[in-house]
Protein backbone atom coordinates (compact mmCIF):
# COMPACT_ATOMS: atom_id res chain seq x y z
CA UNK A 1 0.00 0.00 0.00
CA UNK A 2 2.82 2.40 0.89
CA UNK A 3 4.51 1.76 -2.47
CA UNK A 4 1.24 2.43 -4.27
CA UNK A 5 0.55 5.69 -2.40
CA UNK A 6 4.13 6.81 -3.08
CA UNK A 7 3.61 6.03 -6.76
CA UNK A 8 0.38 8.04 -6.87
CA UNK A 9 2.04 11.00 -5.20
CA UNK A 10 5.06 10.67 -7.51
CA UNK A 11 2.69 10.96 -10.49
CA UNK A 12 1.35 14.23 -9.05
CA UNK A 13 4.88 15.55 -8.56
CA UNK A 14 5.79 14.58 -12.13
CA UNK A 15 2.67 16.33 -13.40
CA UNK A 16 3.60 19.54 -11.59
CA UNK A 17 7.15 19.41 -12.92
CA UNK A 18 5.99 18.92 -16.49
CA UNK A 19 3.38 21.65 -16.16
CA UNK A 20 6.12 24.11 -15.19
CA UNK A 21 8.42 23.17 -18.08
CA UNK A 22 9.39 26.15 -20.27
CA UNK A 23 7.37 26.75 -23.41
CA UNK A 24 10.48 26.20 -25.51
CA UNK A 25 10.65 22.55 -24.42
CA UNK A 26 9.25 20.98 -27.57
CA UNK A 27 9.96 17.61 -29.08
CA UNK A 28 12.38 17.37 -31.99
CA UNK A 29 11.17 16.93 -35.54
CA UNK A 30 11.53 13.29 -36.50
CA UNK A 31 11.75 12.49 -40.19
CA UNK A 32 9.55 9.42 -39.73
CA UNK A 33 6.87 11.40 -37.84
CA UNK A 34 5.64 14.09 -40.26
CA UNK A 35 2.79 16.40 -39.30
CA UNK A 36 0.24 14.22 -41.07
CA UNK A 37 1.33 10.99 -39.35
CA UNK A 38 -1.56 9.38 -37.43
CA UNK A 39 0.28 9.40 -34.09
CA UNK A 40 2.37 12.55 -34.56
CA UNK A 41 0.88 14.63 -31.76
CA UNK A 42 0.96 11.81 -29.22
CA UNK A 43 4.54 10.84 -30.09
CA UNK A 44 5.69 14.42 -29.69
CA UNK A 45 3.84 14.75 -26.38
CA UNK A 46 5.39 11.49 -25.15
CA UNK A 47 8.87 12.78 -26.00
CA UNK A 48 8.15 16.16 -24.39
CA UNK A 49 6.94 14.37 -21.25
CA UNK A 50 10.21 12.47 -21.04
CA UNK A 51 8.65 9.05 -21.59
CA UNK A 52 10.37 8.30 -24.90
CA UNK A 53 13.60 9.18 -26.63
CA UNK A 54 14.13 9.07 -30.37
CA UNK A 55 16.23 6.30 -31.82
CA UNK A 56 18.40 9.20 -33.04
CA UNK A 57 18.09 12.97 -33.11
CA UNK A 58 16.02 12.84 -36.29
CA UNK A 59 14.42 9.38 -36.22
CA UNK A 60 11.84 8.15 -33.72
CA UNK A 61 11.44 4.61 -35.03
CA UNK A 62 7.66 4.88 -35.07
CA UNK A 63 7.06 1.69 -37.03
CA UNK A 64 9.76 -0.23 -35.16
CA UNK A 65 8.54 -2.86 -32.71
CA UNK A 66 8.68 -2.03 -29.01
CA UNK A 67 10.68 -4.52 -26.98
CA UNK A 68 9.63 -5.75 -23.57
CA UNK A 69 12.71 -4.15 -22.01
CA UNK A 70 11.96 -0.80 -23.64
CA UNK A 71 8.40 -0.95 -22.36
CA UNK A 72 9.59 -1.66 -18.82
CA UNK A 73 11.78 1.46 -18.98
CA UNK A 74 8.91 3.62 -20.22
CA UNK A 75 6.58 2.25 -17.53
CA UNK A 76 9.03 3.34 -14.83
CA UNK A 77 9.10 6.84 -16.32
CA UNK A 78 5.32 7.01 -16.64
CA UNK A 79 4.60 6.06 -13.03
CA UNK A 80 7.62 7.75 -11.50
CA UNK A 81 8.64 4.63 -9.61
CA UNK A 82 11.71 4.78 -7.43
CA UNK A 83 14.33 2.68 -9.23
CA UNK A 84 15.67 -0.43 -7.51
CA UNK A 85 18.84 -2.32 -8.42
CA UNK A 86 19.02 -5.58 -6.46
CA UNK A 87 22.20 -7.63 -6.45
CA UNK A 88 20.33 -10.54 -8.05
CA UNK A 89 17.68 -10.27 -10.74
CA UNK A 90 14.20 -11.82 -10.63
CA UNK A 91 14.59 -13.64 -13.96
CA UNK A 92 17.27 -15.90 -15.37
CA UNK A 93 17.75 -13.57 -18.35
CA UNK A 94 17.93 -10.43 -16.20
CA UNK A 95 21.06 -11.05 -14.11
CA UNK A 96 23.40 -8.36 -15.42
CA UNK A 97 23.12 -5.21 -13.24
CA UNK A 98 24.99 -3.20 -15.87
CA UNK A 99 22.39 -3.89 -18.58
CA UNK A 100 20.47 -0.72 -19.52
CA UNK A 101 17.15 -2.37 -18.73
CA UNK A 102 18.12 -4.34 -15.60
CA UNK A 103 16.83 -1.89 -12.99
CA UNK A 104 13.70 -1.05 -14.99
CA UNK A 105 12.67 -4.69 -15.19
CA UNK A 106 13.27 -5.20 -11.47
CA UNK A 107 11.39 -1.98 -10.62
CA UNK A 108 8.43 -3.01 -12.77
CA UNK A 109 8.45 -6.38 -11.06
CA UNK A 110 8.55 -4.82 -7.60
CA UNK A 111 5.56 -2.60 -8.45
CA UNK A 112 3.48 -5.48 -9.75
CA UNK A 113 3.53 -4.63 -13.46
CA UNK A 114 5.53 -7.79 -14.16
CA UNK A 115 5.00 -11.15 -12.51
CA UNK A 116 7.34 -14.07 -12.01
CA UNK A 117 5.07 -16.69 -13.55
CA UNK A 118 7.95 -17.52 -15.86
CA UNK A 119 11.66 -17.82 -15.11
CA UNK A 120 12.47 -15.56 -18.04
CA UNK A 121 11.50 -11.99 -18.89
CA UNK A 122 12.59 -12.05 -22.56
CA UNK A 123 13.81 -8.41 -22.60
CA UNK A 124 14.71 -8.36 -26.28
CA UNK A 125 11.41 -9.82 -27.51
CA UNK A 126 8.91 -7.47 -29.17
CA UNK A 127 5.99 -6.79 -26.85
CA UNK A 128 2.55 -7.92 -27.99
CA UNK A 129 -0.68 -5.97 -27.64
CA UNK A 130 -1.79 -8.47 -25.02
CA UNK A 131 1.43 -8.19 -22.99
CA UNK A 132 1.38 -4.40 -23.16
CA UNK A 133 -2.24 -4.27 -21.96
CA UNK A 134 -1.63 -6.68 -19.10
CA UNK A 135 1.43 -4.79 -17.89
CA UNK A 136 -0.41 -1.46 -17.97
CA UNK A 137 -3.44 -2.78 -16.08
CA UNK A 138 -1.20 -4.36 -13.48
CA UNK A 139 0.89 -1.20 -13.18
CA UNK A 140 -2.28 0.76 -12.47
CA UNK A 141 -2.99 -1.54 -9.53
CA UNK A 142 -6.01 -3.25 -11.09
CA UNK A 143 -4.83 -6.86 -11.08
CA UNK A 144 -7.44 -7.82 -8.47
CA UNK A 145 -10.28 -6.30 -10.48
CA UNK A 146 -9.02 -7.92 -13.67
CA UNK A 147 -9.21 -11.28 -11.95
CA UNK A 148 -12.87 -10.64 -11.15
CA UNK A 149 -13.91 -9.44 -14.61
CA UNK A 150 -13.21 -12.56 -16.64
CA UNK A 151 -16.89 -13.06 -17.48
CA UNK A 152 -17.82 -9.48 -18.37
CA UNK A 153 -18.91 -8.88 -21.99
CA UNK A 154 -16.13 -8.21 -24.49
CA UNK A 155 -16.74 -7.55 -28.21
CA UNK A 156 -13.57 -9.28 -29.37
CA UNK A 157 -13.83 -12.89 -30.51
CA UNK A 158 -10.10 -13.57 -30.59
CA UNK A 159 -9.47 -13.10 -26.85
CA UNK A 160 -9.10 -16.16 -24.66
CA UNK A 161 -6.12 -15.65 -22.32
CA UNK A 162 -5.99 -12.73 -19.87
CA UNK A 163 -9.56 -11.85 -20.74
CA UNK A 164 -10.11 -9.74 -17.60
CA UNK A 165 -6.99 -7.67 -18.25
CA UNK A 166 -7.83 -7.01 -21.88
CA UNK A 167 -11.43 -6.20 -20.98
CA UNK A 168 -10.22 -3.63 -18.47
CA UNK A 169 -7.70 -2.10 -20.87
CA UNK A 170 -10.50 -1.73 -23.41
CA UNK A 171 -13.11 -0.39 -20.98
CA UNK A 172 -10.65 2.10 -19.50
CA UNK A 173 -9.94 3.47 -22.96
CA UNK A 174 -6.28 2.45 -22.99
CA UNK A 175 -6.47 0.21 -26.08
CA UNK A 176 -8.97 -0.31 -28.85
CA UNK A 177 -9.60 -3.25 -31.11
CA UNK A 178 -8.05 -3.72 -34.52
CA UNK A 179 -11.63 -4.15 -35.75
CA UNK A 180 -15.09 -4.23 -34.23
CA UNK A 181 -14.67 -7.88 -33.28
CA UNK A 182 -10.89 -8.41 -33.14
CA UNK A 183 -8.32 -7.37 -30.56
CA UNK A 184 -5.31 -9.10 -32.19
CA UNK A 185 -3.69 -9.95 -28.85
CA UNK A 186 -0.60 -11.54 -30.43
CA UNK A 187 0.11 -8.67 -32.81
CA UNK A 188 3.34 -6.79 -32.12
CA UNK A 189 2.98 -3.27 -30.72
CA UNK A 190 5.03 -0.62 -32.51
CA UNK A 191 6.69 2.29 -30.75
CA UNK A 192 4.04 4.60 -32.21
CA UNK A 193 1.20 2.44 -30.89
CA UNK A 194 2.86 2.19 -27.48
CA UNK A 195 3.29 5.96 -27.33
CA UNK A 196 -0.40 6.50 -28.07
CA UNK A 197 -1.52 3.99 -25.43
CA UNK A 198 0.86 5.36 -22.82
CA UNK A 199 -0.25 8.94 -23.40
CA UNK A 200 -3.86 7.87 -22.87
CA UNK A 201 -2.82 6.59 -19.45
CA UNK A 202 -0.65 9.64 -18.83
CA UNK A 203 -3.57 11.99 -19.48
CA UNK A 204 -5.82 10.11 -17.06
CA UNK A 205 -3.17 9.96 -14.35
CA UNK A 206 -2.72 13.71 -14.65
CA UNK A 207 -6.37 14.66 -15.02
CA UNK A 208 -7.62 17.69 -13.11
CA UNK A 209 -8.87 17.11 -9.58
CA UNK A 210 -12.57 16.18 -9.50
CA UNK A 211 -15.17 18.76 -8.55
CA UNK A 212 -16.08 18.03 -4.94
CA UNK A 213 -19.44 18.58 -3.30
CA UNK A 214 -21.44 16.83 -0.63
CA UNK A 215 -24.12 16.53 2.00
CA UNK A 216 -24.33 18.78 5.07
CA UNK A 217 -26.62 17.29 7.72
CA UNK A 218 -25.77 20.16 10.10
CA UNK A 219 -23.31 23.03 10.46
CA UNK A 220 -21.06 21.51 13.14
CA UNK A 221 -17.55 20.74 11.83
CA UNK A 222 -18.81 21.49 8.32
CA UNK A 223 -16.12 21.56 5.60
CA UNK A 224 -17.15 23.65 2.60
CA UNK A 225 -13.81 24.96 1.31
CA UNK A 226 -13.49 24.00 -2.33
CA UNK A 227 -17.05 22.61 -2.49
CA UNK A 228 -19.17 23.98 -5.34
CA UNK A 229 -22.43 22.50 -4.07
CA UNK A 230 -23.76 21.69 -0.62
CA UNK A 231 -26.91 19.60 -0.23
CA UNK A 232 -28.94 19.78 2.99
CA UNK A 233 -30.75 16.53 3.92
CA UNK A 234 -33.76 18.50 5.13
CA UNK A 235 -36.88 16.69 3.97
CA UNK A 236 -38.40 13.23 3.53
CA UNK A 237 -41.01 12.46 0.89
CA UNK A 238 -44.02 10.26 1.55
CA UNK A 239 -46.23 9.07 -1.28
CA UNK A 240 -49.84 8.09 -1.78
CA UNK A 241 -52.74 10.15 -3.06
CA UNK A 242 -51.63 13.11 -0.96
CA UNK A 243 -47.81 13.31 -1.14
CA UNK A 244 -46.15 15.21 1.70
CA UNK A 245 -42.76 16.51 2.71
CA UNK A 246 -41.62 16.07 6.29
CA UNK A 247 -38.86 18.49 7.30
CA UNK A 248 -36.08 16.72 9.19
CA UNK A 249 -33.79 19.68 9.92
CA UNK A 250 -34.71 22.87 11.77
CA UNK A 251 -34.93 26.19 9.96
CA UNK A 252 -32.17 27.53 12.19
CA UNK A 253 -29.82 24.70 11.21
CA UNK A 254 -30.60 25.22 7.54
CA UNK A 255 -29.70 28.90 7.89
CA UNK A 256 -26.46 27.94 9.65
CA UNK A 257 -25.49 25.53 6.86
CA UNK A 258 -26.33 28.14 4.23
CA UNK A 259 -24.15 30.71 6.03
CA UNK A 260 -21.28 28.21 6.16
CA UNK A 261 -21.65 27.24 2.51
CA UNK A 262 -19.34 30.10 1.54
CA UNK A 263 -20.99 30.85 -1.78
CA UNK A 264 -21.62 27.25 -2.84
CA UNK A 265 -25.01 26.45 -4.34
CA UNK A 266 -27.32 24.93 -1.71
CA UNK A 267 -29.62 22.09 -2.74
CA UNK A 268 -32.55 20.61 -0.85
CA UNK A 269 -31.97 16.89 -0.44
CA UNK A 270 -35.26 15.01 -0.45
CA UNK A 271 -35.13 11.34 0.54
CA UNK A 272 -37.70 8.58 0.37
CA UNK A 273 -38.31 4.97 -0.47
CA UNK A 274 -40.26 3.26 -3.25
CA UNK A 275 -43.56 4.16 -1.56
CA UNK A 276 -42.88 7.80 -2.49
CA UNK A 277 -43.42 6.84 -6.14
CA UNK A 278 -47.03 5.79 -5.61
CA UNK A 279 -48.51 9.30 -5.65
CA UNK A 280 -49.30 11.57 -8.58
CA UNK A 281 -45.97 12.58 -10.14
CA UNK A 282 -47.12 16.08 -11.10
CA UNK A 283 -48.46 16.78 -7.59
CA UNK A 284 -45.24 15.54 -5.99
CA UNK A 285 -43.14 17.63 -8.37
CA UNK A 286 -45.19 20.75 -7.57
CA UNK A 287 -44.68 20.08 -3.86
CA UNK A 288 -40.91 19.89 -4.29
CA UNK A 289 -40.77 22.96 -6.52
CA UNK A 290 -42.70 24.95 -3.89
CA UNK A 291 -40.29 23.82 -1.16
CA UNK A 292 -37.32 24.89 -3.28
CA UNK A 293 -38.87 28.28 -3.94
CA UNK A 294 -39.91 28.86 -0.33
CA UNK A 295 -36.47 27.92 0.99
CA UNK A 296 -34.58 29.77 -1.75
CA UNK A 297 -32.67 26.61 -2.67
CA UNK A 298 -30.64 26.23 -5.84
CA UNK A 299 -32.42 22.98 -6.68
CA UNK A 300 -33.19 19.45 -5.51
CA UNK A 301 -31.10 16.38 -4.75
CA UNK A 302 -33.61 13.52 -5.01
CA UNK A 303 -32.71 10.25 -3.28
CA UNK A 304 -35.33 7.51 -3.68
CA UNK A 305 -33.54 4.44 -2.39
CA UNK A 306 -33.63 0.93 -3.77
CA UNK A 307 -36.29 1.39 -6.40
CA UNK A 308 -37.52 -2.08 -7.48
CA UNK A 309 -37.65 -3.04 -11.13
CA UNK A 310 -41.43 -2.56 -11.26
CA UNK A 311 -40.96 1.01 -10.02
CA UNK A 312 -38.62 2.04 -12.83
CA UNK A 313 -41.28 3.74 -14.94
CA UNK A 314 -42.71 5.60 -11.93
CA UNK A 315 -39.22 6.84 -10.99
CA UNK A 316 -38.64 8.14 -14.51
CA UNK A 317 -42.07 9.79 -14.52
CA UNK A 318 -41.40 11.54 -11.21
CA UNK A 319 -37.98 12.83 -12.26
CA UNK A 320 -39.43 14.07 -15.56
CA UNK A 321 -42.18 15.94 -13.69
CA UNK A 322 -39.69 17.46 -11.24
CA UNK A 323 -37.51 18.62 -14.12
CA UNK A 324 -40.45 20.47 -15.64
CA UNK A 325 -41.52 21.96 -12.30
CA UNK A 326 -38.05 23.22 -11.32
CA UNK A 327 -37.39 25.17 -14.50
CA UNK A 328 -33.78 26.32 -14.51
CA UNK A 329 -33.09 25.10 -10.96
CA UNK A 330 -30.65 22.19 -10.53
CA UNK A 331 -31.93 18.63 -10.36
CA UNK A 332 -29.54 15.99 -9.03
CA UNK A 333 -30.75 12.40 -8.71
CA UNK A 334 -29.20 9.64 -6.59
CA UNK A 335 -29.40 6.13 -8.00
CA UNK A 336 -28.18 2.78 -6.82
CA UNK A 337 -25.35 1.46 -8.96
CA UNK A 338 -26.44 -0.62 -11.98
CA UNK A 339 -24.55 -3.58 -10.53
CA UNK A 340 -25.48 -4.59 -6.99
CA UNK A 341 -22.85 -6.76 -5.31
CA UNK A 342 -21.99 -8.38 -8.62
CA UNK A 343 -25.60 -8.71 -9.83
CA UNK A 344 -27.38 -6.47 -12.34
CA UNK A 345 -29.84 -4.09 -10.69
CA UNK A 346 -32.87 -2.93 -12.70
CA UNK A 347 -34.54 -0.22 -10.65
CA UNK A 348 -33.53 2.80 -12.72
CA UNK A 349 -33.67 3.81 -16.37
CA UNK A 350 -30.29 5.49 -16.30
CA UNK A 351 -30.43 6.87 -19.84
CA UNK A 352 -33.85 8.48 -19.31
CA UNK A 353 -32.94 9.83 -15.87
CA UNK A 354 -29.74 11.34 -17.27
CA UNK A 355 -31.77 13.16 -19.93
CA UNK A 356 -33.82 14.91 -17.26
CA UNK A 357 -31.31 15.38 -14.43
CA UNK A 358 -28.33 17.72 -14.35
CA UNK A 359 -26.38 14.98 -12.61
CA UNK A 360 -26.78 11.33 -11.62
CA UNK A 361 -25.16 10.44 -8.32
CA UNK A 362 -24.17 6.77 -8.25
CA UNK A 363 -24.31 5.03 -4.88
CA UNK A 364 -22.25 1.83 -4.88
CA UNK A 365 -23.59 -0.77 -2.48
CA UNK A 366 -21.01 -2.31 -0.12
CA UNK A 367 -20.60 -6.01 0.43
CA UNK A 368 -22.34 -6.83 3.70
CA UNK A 369 -19.85 -9.54 4.53
CA UNK A 370 -19.92 -10.51 8.19
CA UNK A 371 -17.48 -12.94 9.80
CA UNK A 372 -17.63 -13.54 13.54
CA UNK A 373 -19.81 -10.49 13.94
CA UNK A 374 -17.27 -8.30 12.13
CA UNK A 375 -17.82 -6.45 8.85
CA UNK A 376 -15.10 -7.71 6.51
CA UNK A 377 -15.58 -5.43 3.49
CA UNK A 378 -15.63 -1.63 3.08
CA UNK A 379 -17.96 0.92 1.55
CA UNK A 380 -17.58 1.36 -2.22
CA UNK A 381 -15.34 -1.67 -2.96
CA UNK A 382 -13.20 -0.66 -5.93
CA UNK A 383 -14.37 -3.49 -8.18
CA UNK A 384 -18.00 -2.45 -7.59
CA UNK A 385 -17.09 1.10 -8.61
CA UNK A 386 -15.52 -0.35 -11.76
CA UNK A 387 -18.56 -2.50 -12.53
CA UNK A 388 -20.86 0.52 -12.12
CA UNK A 389 -18.85 2.95 -14.24
CA UNK A 390 -18.10 0.45 -17.00
CA UNK A 391 -21.80 -0.50 -17.17
CA UNK A 392 -22.92 3.14 -17.39
CA UNK A 393 -20.23 4.05 -19.90
CA UNK A 394 -22.37 3.42 -22.96
CA UNK A 395 -25.62 4.93 -21.64
CA UNK A 396 -24.77 8.05 -19.61
CA UNK A 397 -22.36 10.86 -20.42
CA UNK A 398 -19.58 10.87 -17.79
CA UNK A 399 -20.08 14.64 -17.49
CA UNK A 400 -23.43 13.86 -15.87
CA UNK A 401 -22.12 11.30 -13.39
CA UNK A 402 -20.94 11.75 -9.83
CA UNK A 403 -19.63 9.00 -7.56
CA UNK A 404 -20.94 9.00 -3.99
CA UNK A 405 -18.00 8.43 -1.64
CA UNK A 406 -18.54 7.51 2.00
CA UNK A 407 -16.60 9.76 4.36
CA UNK A 408 -17.38 7.95 7.61
CA UNK A 409 -15.99 4.67 8.90
CA UNK A 410 -17.94 1.44 8.56
CA UNK A 411 -19.24 1.91 12.11
CA UNK A 412 -20.28 5.52 11.46
CA UNK A 413 -17.09 7.04 12.94
CA UNK A 414 -16.34 10.50 11.61
CA UNK A 415 -12.87 11.66 10.60
CA UNK A 416 -12.11 13.07 14.03
CA UNK A 417 -12.83 9.71 15.65
CA UNK A 418 -10.74 7.91 13.03
CA UNK A 419 -7.88 10.30 13.73
CA UNK A 420 -8.15 9.49 17.43
CA UNK A 421 -8.10 5.76 16.75
CA UNK A 422 -5.04 6.11 14.52
CA UNK A 423 -3.17 7.57 17.46
CA UNK A 424 -4.34 4.98 19.98
CA UNK A 425 -1.97 2.36 21.32
CA UNK A 426 -2.95 -1.17 20.36
CA UNK A 427 -4.71 -0.17 17.14
CA UNK A 428 -3.39 -1.86 14.02
CA UNK A 429 -3.54 0.00 10.68
CA UNK A 430 -3.81 -2.02 7.48
CA UNK A 431 -4.68 -1.63 3.82
CA UNK A 432 -6.61 -4.16 1.78
CA UNK A 433 -5.29 -4.55 -1.75
CA UNK A 434 -8.37 -6.69 -2.44
CA UNK A 435 -10.79 -3.81 -1.79
CA UNK A 436 -8.44 -0.82 -1.99
CA UNK A 437 -9.49 0.46 1.40
CA UNK A 438 -7.94 0.95 4.83
CA UNK A 439 -9.02 -0.69 8.06
CA UNK A 440 -8.18 -0.68 11.76
CA UNK A 441 -8.01 -3.63 14.12
CA UNK A 442 -7.75 -4.08 17.86
CA UNK A 443 -8.18 -6.90 20.35
CA UNK A 444 -11.22 -6.95 22.60
CA UNK A 445 -11.31 -8.38 26.11
CA UNK A 446 -12.55 -11.60 24.53
CA UNK A 447 -9.55 -11.64 22.24
CA UNK A 448 -11.48 -11.23 18.98
CA UNK A 449 -10.45 -8.74 16.32
CA UNK A 450 -12.66 -5.71 15.65
CA UNK A 451 -12.44 -4.12 12.21
CA UNK A 452 -13.30 -0.56 11.20
CA UNK A 453 -13.10 0.18 7.49
CA UNK A 454 -12.47 3.70 6.21
CA UNK A 455 -11.24 5.51 3.12
CA UNK A 456 -7.83 7.07 3.65
CA UNK A 457 -5.81 9.07 1.12
CA UNK A 458 -4.74 5.98 -0.86
CA UNK A 459 -8.29 4.62 -1.02
CA UNK A 460 -9.69 7.98 -2.10
CA UNK A 461 -6.93 8.36 -4.71
CA UNK A 462 -7.72 4.91 -6.11
CA UNK A 463 -11.38 5.87 -6.58
CA UNK A 464 -10.47 9.24 -7.99
CA UNK A 465 -8.15 7.54 -10.50
CA UNK A 466 -10.85 5.13 -11.63
CA UNK A 467 -13.29 8.02 -12.06
CA UNK A 468 -10.70 9.81 -14.20
CA UNK A 469 -10.32 6.82 -16.52
CA UNK A 470 -14.08 6.85 -17.13
CA UNK A 471 -14.21 10.63 -17.49
CA UNK A 472 -16.23 11.17 -14.29
CA UNK A 473 -15.24 14.63 -13.07
CA UNK A 474 -17.38 14.94 -9.93
CA UNK A 475 -17.36 13.20 -6.54
CA UNK A 476 -20.08 13.60 -3.92
CA UNK A 477 -18.95 13.25 -0.29
CA UNK A 478 -21.53 11.54 1.89
CA UNK A 479 -21.07 13.80 4.93
CA UNK A 480 -19.20 17.12 4.91
CA UNK A 481 -19.19 17.15 8.72
CA UNK A 482 -17.12 13.96 8.99
CA UNK A 483 -13.96 15.08 7.19
CA UNK A 484 -11.52 14.95 10.08
CA UNK A 485 -7.87 15.78 9.46
CA UNK A 486 -5.66 12.74 9.99
CA UNK A 487 -2.56 14.02 8.24
CA UNK A 488 -1.18 12.34 5.16
CA UNK A 489 -3.91 9.69 5.47
CA UNK A 490 -6.82 12.15 5.20
CA UNK A 491 -9.41 11.29 2.60
CA UNK A 492 -9.40 14.79 1.08
CA UNK A 493 -5.66 14.52 0.42
CA UNK A 494 -6.31 11.67 -2.01
CA UNK A 495 -8.90 13.68 -3.96
CA UNK A 496 -6.81 16.80 -4.61
pLDDT at position 88 over 90? yes
In angstroms, what is the C-alpha Rg of the chain? Answer: 25
pLDDT at position 364 over 50? yes
- Cβ pair 480, 228 in contact under 8 A: no
pLDDT score recorded for residue 484: 78
Of 13-17, 188-192, 476-480, which range is least confident? Answer: 13-17
pLDDT score recorded for residue 216: 93
Confidence of residue 247 (pLDDT cuts 50, 70, 90): confident
User: Average pLDDT, whole number, for the chain?
Assistant: 88
pLDDT score recorded for residue 370: 65
The three-state secondary structure class of 431 is: strand
Segment 366-415, tens digit of pLDDT = 777 666 666 677 889 999 999 999 999 989 999 999 999 999 988 888 88
Which residues, including other chains, have CB under 8 Å from residue 117's CB and lie 6 or more apart? none
Report the C-alpha dihedral over residues 302, 304, 307, 310, rounded to 10 degrees: -70
Size of the chain, expressed as the number of residues it contains: 496
What backbone torsions phi and psi does residue 446 show, to the nearest 5 degrees?
Answer: -85, -5
Residue 29, CA distances (Å) to 40, 49, 60, 66, 470 in order? 10, 15, 9, 20, 33
Confidence of residue 261 (pLDDT cuts 50, 70, 90): confident
pLDDT at position 13 over 80? no
The three-state secondary structure class of 306 is: coil
pLDDT at position 475 over 70? yes
For the ranges 213-222, 347-356, 418-427, the maximum mean pLDDT occurs at 347-356
Q: What is the mean pLDDT of residues 93-105?
A: 96
Alpha-carbon gap, residue 49 to 203, rounded angstroms: 11
Alpha-carbon gap, residue 16 to 10, rounded angstroms: 10
pLDDT at position 9 over 50? no
The fraction of the chain above a pLDDT of 90, given in percent, is: 63
Which residues, including other chains, have CB under 8 Å from residue 351's CB and lie 6 or more apart? 395, 396
Confidence of residue 14 (pLDDT cuts 50, 70, 90): very low
pLDDT score recorded for residue 469: 97
Of 296-300, 340-344, 418-422, which range is least confident? Answer: 340-344
| CA neighbours closer than 13 Å in the CB half-sphere of residue 403 | 33
The fraction of the chain above a pLDDT of 70, given in percent, is: 91
pLDDT score recorded for residue 36: 92
Q: What is the mean pLDDT of residues 64-75?
A: 96
Segment 433-474, tens digit of pLDDT = 888 999 988 766 665 577 789 999 999 999 999 999 999 999
Confidence of residue 424 (pLDDT cuts 50, 70, 90): confident
Segment 23-45, tens digit of pLDDT = 334 456 899 999 999 999 999 99
Amino acid sequence: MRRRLKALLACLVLCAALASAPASAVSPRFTDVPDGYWAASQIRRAVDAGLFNGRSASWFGASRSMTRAEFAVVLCRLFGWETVTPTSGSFTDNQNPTAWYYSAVETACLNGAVTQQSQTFRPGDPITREELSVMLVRALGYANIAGLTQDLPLPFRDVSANRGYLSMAYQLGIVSGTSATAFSPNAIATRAQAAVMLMRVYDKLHAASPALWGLAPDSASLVTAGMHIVAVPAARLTGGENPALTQSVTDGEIRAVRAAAAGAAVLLEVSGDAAALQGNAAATAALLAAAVSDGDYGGVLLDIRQVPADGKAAMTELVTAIRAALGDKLLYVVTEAPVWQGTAYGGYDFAMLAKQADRLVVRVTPYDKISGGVLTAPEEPLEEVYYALSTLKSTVSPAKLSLLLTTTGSDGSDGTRIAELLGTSGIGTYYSARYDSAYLTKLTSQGSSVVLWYHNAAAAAARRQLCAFFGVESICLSDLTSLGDYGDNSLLRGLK
